[in-house]
Structures are given as structure tokens and as C-alpha cells.
Amino acid sequence: MIEKMRSTHGHGRALRRTVGQMLAAGMMATWLAAPLSAAETKADNGQSPAESVATAAQAASGKVDDATQTAIRNGLQRLMAGNTGMKIEEIRPTPIPGLYEVQVGQILVYADGAGKYVLAEGELIDIENQRNLTRERATELSRIDFKRDLPLDKAIKQVHGNGKRVLAIFEDPNCSYCRRMRSVLAGIDDLTIYTFTYPILAPSSLTKSQKAWCAKDPSSAWADLMSNGKEPDNAGDCKTPVQEVLALGRKLNVTGTPTLFFPDGNRVPGAISPEQLEQLLDAQGKATAKKG
């Protein structure tokens, strides 16, 4: 699950990558407690009085009982499967009842006593179901209504093949990652691309965006600008939607380029590989077919 590491420093990076990349569908879950079916017998923290006393005793002593140690180690070993270089050094109680500090190499993560959930780099992972609950919730919160929120008439449209697959992208002409993403898009068949020119990196970004819109063929001009660095030969003084797109980006909280949007409303910040893009587009197609 976690790629093999070559150095101690690499161990930390690999754990963080694994935590950030475990993707699945779903909602944020409450991670320490099951529903309280007998609330009158529980303490305020969701534990029985006896459990609360035991947890408090562990925290005071700095020790973790063998059963809890085993549960946490077993859970994290599932997350780190196949990576013998990653080692759990120590498990300690924290001031929060039921939450334990786990030292993995030089990295600190936090786990529940059952070894079912881990909190690492600010992301909450459901180990048993291999779900990144934080990422799922963030994805849900960042979702837009593609048809309602994106004025496609203010985007530069490009069509590859039959154009049956669709995405929108916010790009800055001075963005190197946008150019990288543009080379990926060039190799994707049957795709309609709506490009929102989003000049946020430098003053020249605005000038280049204006000139692309003022070209005789904005689609070709933008493609030439992004792929070859060729700036359109005009004054860039025609009426364009660039300022409206800047306002739109701020409204949608687009904070970097490239940012991709798909018809289901999901956004993907940053450049991605052709394989990742094909997977996302295929998922869109399957979702559309299922609705139909």
C-alpha cells in the first residue's frame, strides 16, 4: 500500500503520501465512538466509568496496555503493508481519552485504541475500509454545480475528436504546471475542454490572456501560447471576459492553476498524469451512463 522507501527521510514522505492519496467515496465519520445506546451508563467522553478510569490511569502512567498496543500496531501494519522499512517505535497515551500518539520512524501520527482510525498530517484515515475521510469531506465541500456555476460562454472552447467527454480548467499563461497539463490534454481523445483564462501569477499573465481572447481564433491562439510560448500578435485591447473570470475564480475559491472541474462538480487542483485523467474521465462516463 505504501511504496517502498530508500531512506529514513523517505519513510516520512511515504507515510504522508499514503495518508493523502487513499481515496474513496463517503462522508466524514465520527471516529472514536459508536452510537451511545445506553447513554445513562456512559461517562461524558463516551466510555463506561470503568473504561474512563482505566484510560485516565494509562495517561497518568504514560503506559499503554498490551491489548491496545496490539490493536494499534495491527491496524497501522495494514496501512504500511509491504514496507519493512517503516517501524512503529513507540505508542503513548495522550491527554485525550482514547487517542494515542504513535511514533513511526521520526513521524508522529495519532490512532484510536482499536487501531481502526489514524490521524496523520491533519487527515483522518479509516484503516479498515481504506478511506481518507478528510479528503472525502474536503472533496464534497469543494464540489460545484458544473452547469450552474460555470458560465461556459466565458471560456475558450477546444474539441478533440467527438468531444463527448467534458472538463473545465482554470489556467494562467505563465503557469508551468498548466503547460504540463496542456500537454496531457493534447493527448486525450474525444474531449471538450473549456478553458477559463485565470491570470493570477504576474502582470504579463493578464496581457497574454487578453491577447489570446483578441486573436482571430482564441482557441488556436491559446493552444499555441500554452504549448509553444507564442504570444498572439495583437494589442489585446478588445472586450474580453477575463475580469469576469477572475471574479468567478475568487467566488469558486480557485486558489491555484491549473484547477480542473468535471461535470459531476468535483475539482482537481494541480497537474495530473494522463492515466489519472483517463480514470477520472472514465468515471464521469460511467456515472452519466448509470444516470441515463
What is the number of alpha carbons within 13 Å of residue 285 lying toward its C-beta?
11
Domain annotation covers residue 83: yes
Domain annotation covers residue 6: no
Q: Is 131 in the same domain as 235? A: no
Q: Is 79 in the same domain as 182? A: no
Per the structure, how many domains does the chain have? 2
Q: What is the pLDDT of residues 98-136, one digit of tens each?
A: 999 999 988 999 999 999 999 998 999 999 898 999 989
Identify the CA nearest to 178 among candidates 145, 240, 243, 223: 223
Residue 86 has a pLDDT of: 78
Domain annotation covers residue 274: yes
Task: Give every strand in the sheet of 259-261, ordered side by side.
Answer: 156-160, 191-197, 165-171, 259-261, 267-269
The three cell numbers locating residue 157: 472552447
Domain annotation covers residue 175: yes
Cβ neighbours around 204 below 10 Å, total: 12
Cα 174 versus chain centre, distance: 24
Q: Is 171 in the same domain as 247? A: yes
Q: Is 121 in the same domain as 242? A: no
What is the number of alpha carbons within 13 Å of residue 222 lying toward its C-beta?
28
Rounded CA-CA distance 125/117 in Å is 6
Rounded CA-CA distance 26/29 in Å is 9
Domain annotation covers residue 46: no
Output the furthest CA–CA distance in the chain (Å, rounded): 78
Tell me what the pLDDT averaged over the chain comes to: 82
Q: Is 267 in the same domain as 219? A: yes
Residue 265: pLDDT above 80?
Answer: yes
Q: What is the pLDDT of residues 178-216, one digit of tens each?
A: 999 999 999 999 999 999 999 999 999 999 999 999 999
Q: Please, are residues 101 and 92 in contact by the beta-carbon 8 Å criterion?
A: yes
Q: Is 157 in the same domain as 286? A: yes
The residue segments making up the domain with residue 222 are 152-290
- pTM of the entire predicted model: 0.67
Identify the CA nearest to 59 among candidates 107, 106, 113: 113
Residue 59: pLDDT above 80?
Answer: no
CATH number at residue 224: 3.40.30.10
β-strand pairing of 156-160 with 191-197: antiparallel
CATH number at residue 138: 3.10.450.70
Q: Residue 264: exposed, middle, or buried by beta-carbon count in 10 A (0-12, 13-18, 19+)?
A: middle
Dihedral of CA atoms 48, 54, 57, 58 in degrees, nearest 10, equals: -120
Residue 52 has a pLDDT of: 52
Domain annotation covers residue 10: no
Task: Name the one residue in this structure whose C-alpha cell is 496531457.
Answer: 184
* % the chain with pLDDT above 70: 76
Q: Is 130 in the same domain as 225? A: no
